[in-house]
Structure 1
Amino acid sequence: MTTAKDIMHPGAQWIPRYETLDRAAQLMRDHGVGALPVSDPENGDRMCGIITDRDIVVKCVAAGHDPAKVTCAEICEGTPRWIDAASDIADALREMEGRQIKRLPVVENKRVVGMISEADIARNLSEGQRAEFVQRVYA
């Protein structure tokens, strides 16, 4: 059985919910990623959302706001989705396809240990699985 941990990009970088979006953008640049799980230090550092590079551009910059003044908490929306590291990759695919999401944090012992992205899917799945994923996420 291939697990979520087997295909994830390890070592996901967190950002606290009180940090500003310019700091989030800097971390994304420094780590070469397009998304960061957002933690809530007041709640045991549990994940409370996810910030993407697109969120920063569309919800902050394009809306005329200053990314140095807007916090991650202000643009996090909805319930964050994640998958346990020991889960079968088929479960991760179902979650991503069902929610039409392109990045899925991987959690082990209540901590984010990695992220599954489209690139991880492309590298680790068969051509048929990739085609089905693309059809369902982008439909």
Structure 2
Amino acid sequence: MTTAKDIMHEGAQWIPRTETLDRAAQLMRRLDVGALPVSDQNDRLCGIVTDRDIVVKCVAAGHDPSHITAGDLVEGTPRWIDANADVSEVLEEMESHRIRRLPVIENKRLVGMISEADLARHLSDDQIAAFAEKVYAVR
């Protein structure tokens, strides 16, 4: 059985919800990633902030990223997957919620992220096609 931990990208880091967006962008650049999980004061996942969020919801809206925090942007219920979940569960979670990045949690701690690139490296062409159809299809 292939698990989430088998296909995830290790070394994911999260930022506290109180961190400013300019610092989040700097960390994204340093890590070469487009999204960061956001933690609350108890080190629990409370959302994800993406590079697109920073540009569209902050900069393009005329806000100063040095004064807006990651917590200001996160919304909704954060989605995640247990490290031991089967890859079919990973696909179901990502497809049903139409998300492109999924934090992987083990023992209540962030251990990695699964992105579209990770799926492309580990899944069959048919699985990737089905994923793309479900995530990108216009509803």
Q: TM-score, normalised by structure 2?
A: 0.97
Aligned position for 1:68: 66
Q: Secondary structure at the match of 1:2?
A: coil
Moved over 6 A (4+): none
> For residues 45 and 17 of structure 2, what CA distance do their matches in structure 1 show?
9
Which segments of 5 or more consecutive residues in structure 1 lack a partner in the other structure?
A: none
Aligned mate of 2:56, from 49, 55, 58? 58
State yes or no: 1:20 paired with 2:20.
yes
> For residues 36 and 110 of structure 2, what CA distance do their matches in structure 1 show?
10
- 1:98-117 superposed matches below 5 A: 98-117=96-115
* 1:11 Cα deviation after fit: 1.3
Q: Secondary structure at the match of 2:114?
A: strand
> For residues 112 and 46 of structure 1, what CA distance do their matches in structure 2 show?
9
Which segments of 5 or more consecutive residues in structure 2 lack a partner in the other structure?
A: none
* 1:17 Cα deviation after fit: 0.4
Aligned residues with identical type, % of pairs: 72
Q: TM-score, normalised by structure 1?
A: 0.97
> For residues 21 and 91 of structure 1, what CA distance do their matches in structure 2 show?
32
> For residues 111 and 33 of structure 2, what CA distance do their matches in structure 1 show?
14
Aligned position for 2:129: 131
Counterpart amino acid of residue 20 in structure 1: T
> For residues 88 and 113 of structure 2, what CA distance do their matches in structure 1 show?
15
CA-based RMSD: 0.5
Report how many aligned residue pairs link the two structures: 137
Aligned position for 2:3: 3
